[in-house]
Amino acid sequence: MSDISSDVIPSRFRVGCGGLSASLCVMFGTLSLLSVLAFHFPAYLTIPELRAGYDIALLRAGLAAIMAACGALGLYALMKGRIVPASVGLIALTFAALMGGADTPVGTVHASPFYIGVDWFVIGLLSTGIVFIALEKAAPLRPDQAVLRREWSLDLMHFFIMHLLLGFYLMITHAALTHGLSWARFDTVVTFIQSLPFIAQFLLIMLSVDLAEYAIHRWYHRGGFGWRIHAVHHSSETMDWLASSRLHLLEALFTRTASLAPIFLLGFDTAVVNSYAMFVGIHATFIHANVRFDFGWLEYFFVTPRHHHWHHADEAGAHNTNFAVHFSFIDRMFGTLYMPQNAWPALYGVSDGEPAPDYIAHLAYPFFPNWAGKRVKA
Ligand SMILES: [Zn+2]
Ligand SMILES: [Zn+2]
């Protein structure tokens, strides 16, 4: 666990010293290179469900903008003496330009059994990162908390791997549900559900997924192997938009399968499922974000950042509470709601054992807790 003061802005990231420009140059250079590679090898580096809806002209314009920003930031960082990171970013940019840049022709698209979601990572990082960093700056819960706070690179690694594996997860969960639950899916139920108005289907999908996730979330918190998987998520000592990505690969698999089960069984309209998928990605990020919003009476019905921050709190009374992901009244119903009036937690994390803060330790922790665990705190 940590206190807030340990996350103040390190000197190298203060305005005017070139540190932030150098970091953004590395990020934009890397994303440019990855994007150009995705243009060259779409069959292996993009997700079929996503690329079907791409506007290529728009993507090229976005890539050109990122490359221009990378160049400008890199030059500024060089002038400020940030030689190594600026050079790394500019070298990545040079390779991206030499390989075709924003005019790279789209490579052969064919069905491939193996692919990773480089496109999903680039789009996800740019859109989510820009929107939520702006939101956290506009209405911060902790104004002194830096964007590049402690363990940000570890959470970015989680974000990276999770986005690359999206296609793999979709494939596995789809296969598991069609093979394991087809017997319980009835046409009459599906027809009835699809006859409901959009908003009714949307609320029903939220409720059914929330109940499934509530059940598996409580199971994680019972201890043993389930807890060791989930302890990776709870090991975050700083709450922000990126902390939502810290998940063990098995937790992502189990939770996604559990939450997709009611969607599969009830057979919602495709437009509802797609809208919900977009909503859940934004909402899950929002409830972890470093934002202070007062939702008043709505907090008794919906899961808000304050509700989920208390779930991550390392404070007496808050442990094993607030399991719901959409509707806080589910926690009230089952007696697990914890919402002190107008208060936010001071500390986050796990005080009695957690994985060490590196990616391999996070993956290994459920299987080898002694080897991969951080020191046990008093
Ligand atoms: Zn939890
Ligand atoms: Zn969380």
pLDDT tens for 224-256 read 999 999 999 999 999 999 999 999 999 999 999
Q: Verify that 102 and 178 share a domain, yes or no.
A: no
Q: What is the mean pLDDT of residues 58-63?
A: 94
Q: Verify that 250 and 337 share a domain, yes or no.
A: yes
Q: Verify that 73 and 179 share a domain, yes or no.
A: no
Q: Verify that 209 and 294 share a domain, yes or no.
A: yes
**Which ligand ends up closest to the CA of 303?**
2
Res. 147 pLDDT band, cuts 50 70 90: confident
Kindly state whether residue 220 falls inside one of the protein's structural domains: yes
**Which ligand ends up closest to the CA of 251?**
1
Q: Verify that 260 and 346 share a domain, yes or no.
A: yes
Cα–Cα distance for residue pair 25/67, rounded to 1 Å: 9
Q: Verify that 241 and 346 share a domain, yes or no.
A: yes
Q: Verify that 212 and 307 share a domain, yes or no.
A: yes
What's the chain's average pLDDT?
91
Res. 13 pLDDT band, cuts 50 70 90: low
Number of domains the chain is built from? 2
Cα–Cα distance for residue pair 47/114, rounded to 1 Å: 10
pLDDT of residue 352: 75
Kindly state whether residue 133 falls inside one of the protein's structural domains: no
Task: Determine the Cα angle at 327 with ends 322 and 329, to 5°.
Answer: 75
Q: Verify that 321 and 204 share a domain, yes or no.
A: yes
pLDDT at 50 exceeding the cut of 70: yes
Q: How far is the CA of 364 from the centre of ligand 2 (A)?
A: 20
pLDDT at 9 exceeding the cut of 80: no
Task: Determine the Cα angle at 160 with ends 215 and 308, to 5°.
Answer: 35
**Which ligand ends up closest to the CA of 325?**
2
Q: Verify that 229 and 84 share a domain, yes or no.
A: no
Kindly state whether residue 67 falls inside one of the protein's structural domains: yes
Q: How far is the CA of 13 from the centre of ligand 2 (A)?
A: 27
Kindly state whether residue 124 falls inside one of the protein's structural domains: no
pLDDT of residue 53: 86
| Domain carrying residue 203 | 167-372
Res. 18 pLDDT band, cuts 50 70 90: confident
53 Cα distance to chain centroid:
22
Kindly state whether residue 362 falls inside one of the protein's structural domains: yes
Q: What 3-state DSSP class applies to 355?
A: strand
Looking at 115, 144, 176, the residue that finishes a domain is 115
Q: Verify that 296 and 181 share a domain, yes or no.
A: yes
**Which ligand ends up closest to the CA of 322?**
1
**Which ligand ends up closest to the CA of 323?**
1
Distances (CA, A) of 250 to 230, 233, 343: 9, 11, 33
pLDDT of residue 187: 94
Type of residue at 62: G
Pair of tokens at residue 65: 């903008």
Kindly state whether residue 218 falls inside one of the protein's structural domains: yes
Cα–Cα distance for residue pair 299/88, rounded to 1 Å: 45
Q: How far is the CA of 217 from the centre of ligand 1 (A)?
A: 6
- Among 7-11, 90-94, 319-323, name the one with the lowest average pLDDT: 7-11
Kindly state whether residue 26 falls inside one of the protein's structural domains: yes
Looking at 55, 83, 115, the residue that finishes a domain is 115
Q: How far is the CA of 232 from the centre of ligand 1 (A)?
A: 10
The residue that leads in pLDDT, 118 or 110, is 118
The residue that leads in pLDDT, 131 or 23, is 131
Q: Verify that 100 and 194 share a domain, yes or no.
A: no
Looking at 47, 81, 115, the residue that finishes a domain is 115
- Among 9-18, 188-197, 255-264, name the one with the lowest average pLDDT: 9-18
- pLDDT tens for 178-231 read 999 999 999 999 999 999 999 999 999 999 999 999 999 999 999 999 999 999
Alpha helices per DSSP H over 165-304: 166-181, 187-195, 198-220, 224-234, 249-266, 270-288
Q: What is the mean pLDDT of residues 273-295?
A: 94
Q: How far is the CA of 378 from the centre of ligand 2 (A)?
A: 24
Kindly state whether residue 139 falls inside one of the protein's structural domains: no
Cα–Cα distance for residue pair 24/69, rounded to 1 Å: 9
Q: Verify that 271 and 175 share a domain, yes or no.
A: yes
Cα–Cα distance for residue pair 58/323, rounded to 1 Å: 40
Q: How far is the CA of 252 from the centre of ligand 1 (A)?
A: 13
